[in-house]
Amino acid sequence: MEDKALNELWERYRSGRATSEDEAFLESWYLKNNQLPLFQITDKERVEDVDQVWDDIQKKQASKKLNRRYRLAAAAAITLFAFTGIYCLLYQKTQTPISKTDVNPGKNQATLTLANGKKLILGNAISGQLANEGGVTISKNAQGELIYSTHTSGNLQQSGGQINTLATSKGEQYQVILPDGSHVWLNAASTLKYPVAFTGNERLVELSGEAYFEVAHNRAMPFKVKTDLQEVEVLGTHFNINAYRDEKTTATTLLEGSVKVTTVSSNQKMIIKPGQQSNVSDHTFTIQPVDTDEAIAWKNGYFLFNDESLASIMKKISRWYNVEVDYKDIALQSLVFSGTVSKYQNVSQVIKTLELTNAVHFKVLDKRITVSN
């Protein structure tokens, strides 16, 4: 397909004259290329991909109809990619200044509270040693990760009784490598409590909010994550926990290994397998298969919506951009969208992608987003 034909396709989409075949092409081409690094695709590869996708769509068109829900993928293809063959700048190295009608994305920052009550703002801290508690050195590496290193000369039993708290506000995220080598990614508006050294017969941490865990294997000392509604026990595996207190359920999504989930209210236990998600509320406990990419999209740098309500989408946007959200019509919260959008753009670019569906409109002013139809 030549650039002229691509431009004509774009004009049909903008004017509302795009056929289901046109929309299917845009969506498929976007999904095929949206995971590639910036500027990796060449003009030749772009043309080859366009032709391949177009052929596939034409072959399938006779037997397959598009889902009529609002599809962000097609809209995002217009927003995220230029038809000249050059990717738009999703991961800009420098942020544009905040204005009253726009908001910058969140940043890599958190507050560490030491056992003695001292608070450290990690985004402002330079690389190197930050503190020493008992036999454990707390430092920040060049990648901006918080690291706990155990000294053989230290009193680990004493250190095990000292609790540190890593907390992110809205618009912040951070990573920590715990004393056992486990790696934790902490999402916005979240708190993780843990000892500066793991001792005894378990590794216990407490979570409020959301975090992705890559747990170091230790059969003799199970790793446990405690939240308001549940306790998760693993020996060594990869999983995500969404335990925000403003959500109806606590969701645990497993990528590798196995996880045992125990409810706090009824002491009910279930084992989760890879590709499954448990959902725990005050009265229910369910397990179902899920798209694990959706659960960890936040950790990988983008929003991924799969038939997701606008209310849920705007909660994620609110946490990451540290904005308030108002609805002109409460019924708008139930609108459903699907698609993928980078979270390293200003908020105006993210909501503009939603607006391309013509189902909803937004106004940004002084870190407040007003949603209307």
The three state secondary structure string of 246-301 is CCCCEEEEEEECCEEEEECCCCCEEEECCCEEEEECCCCEEEEECCHHHHCHHHHC
| Mean pLDDT confidence for 16-42 | 53
Q: In this structure, are 164 and 306 located in the same domain?
A: no
Asked whether the predicted pLDDT for residue 202 surpasses 90, the reply is yes
pLDDT of residue 243: 98
Q: CA-CA-CA-CA torsion for 92, 309, 280, 233, nearest 10 degrees?
A: -20
Within a domain: 305: yes
The string of pLDDT tens digits covering residues 311-330 is 999 999 999 999 999 999 99
Mean pLDDT (the chain, rounded)? 81
Helix axis angle, 20-33 to 43-61, nearest 10° = 140
3-class SS at 23?
helix
Q: Provide the domain limits for residue 129.
A: 107-294
Residues 151 and 258 occupy one common structural domain:
yes
Please check whether residue 95 lies inside any domain of the structure: no
The structure tokens listed for 274 are 């890879």
Instruction: Tell me whether residue 87 is in a domain.
Output: no
Structural domains counted in the chain: 3
Tens digit of each residue's pLDDT (9 = 90 or more) over 30-85: 544 444 433 344 545 555 555 555 555 455 444 444 344 565 544 444 333 333 23
The mean-pLDDT minimum among 113-117, 133-137, 201-205, 216-220 falls in 133-137
- H or E, element range at 184: strand 183-186
Q: Confidence band (pLDDT; 50, 70, 90) for 303?
A: very high
Burial of 131 (0-12, 13-18, 19+ CB in 10 A): middle
Residue 213 lies in a domain: yes
Question: What are the beta bridge partners of residue 146?
Answer: 140, 176
92 found inside a domain: no
The answer to whether the beta carbons of residues 205 and 187 sit under 8 Å apart is no
pLDDT at 136 over 80: yes
d(CA 213, CA 76): 30
> Looking at 80, 96, 116, which one is the last position of a domain?
80
Residue 26 has pLDDT above 90, yes or no: no
150-180 per-position pLDDT tens digit: 875 555 555 557 999 999 999 999 999 999 9
Q: Does residue 90 lie in a domain region?
A: no
Q: Give the span between the Cα atoms of 352 and 349, in whole angstroms.
A: 5
Specify whether 267 is located in the same domain as 186.
Answer: yes
Please report, for the chain, how many H helices and E strands are present, in that order: 9, 25
Closest CA to 13 of 83, 87, 65: 83
What is the spatial distance between Cα 58 and Cα 51, in angstroms, rounded to a whole number?
Answer: 11
- The answer to whether residues 226 and 131 belong to one domain is yes
Q: Indicate if 14 and 68 belong to the same structural domain.
A: yes
Please check whether residues 271 and 338 belong to one and the same domain: no
Instruction: For residue range 214-258, list pLDDT tens digits in order.
Output: 999 999 999 999 999 999 999 889 999 999 999 999 999 999 999
Q: Among 264, 294, 324, where does a domain finish? A: 294
Instruction: Please check whether residue 93 lies inside any domain of the structure.
Output: no
**Cα angle: 90, vertex 183, 241; to 5 degrees:** 75
Please tell me whether residues 287 and 310 are part of one structural domain.
Answer: no
Closest-CA residue to 350 (of 342, 358, 361): 342
CATH classification of the domain holding 346: 3.55.50.30
Whether 254 and 130 map to the same domain: the answer is yes
Tell me which residue of 119, 133, 127 sits closest to 196, measured CA to CA: 133
**275 and 313 share one domain:** no
For residues 218 and 199, give the distance between their C-alpha atoms in angstroms, rounded to a whole number. Answer: 12
308 and 286 both lie in a single domain: no
Same structural domain for residues 283 and 363? Answer: no
**Which of 294, 322, 341 is the last residue before a domain boundary?**
294
CA distance 149 to 13: 55
Residue range 118-134: mean pLDDT, rounded:
87
In a domain, 102, yes or no: no
Which residue's structure tokens are 């359920």? 249
Query: Between 56 and 305, where is the model more confident?
Result: 305
Q: Are 31 and 59 members of one domain? A: yes
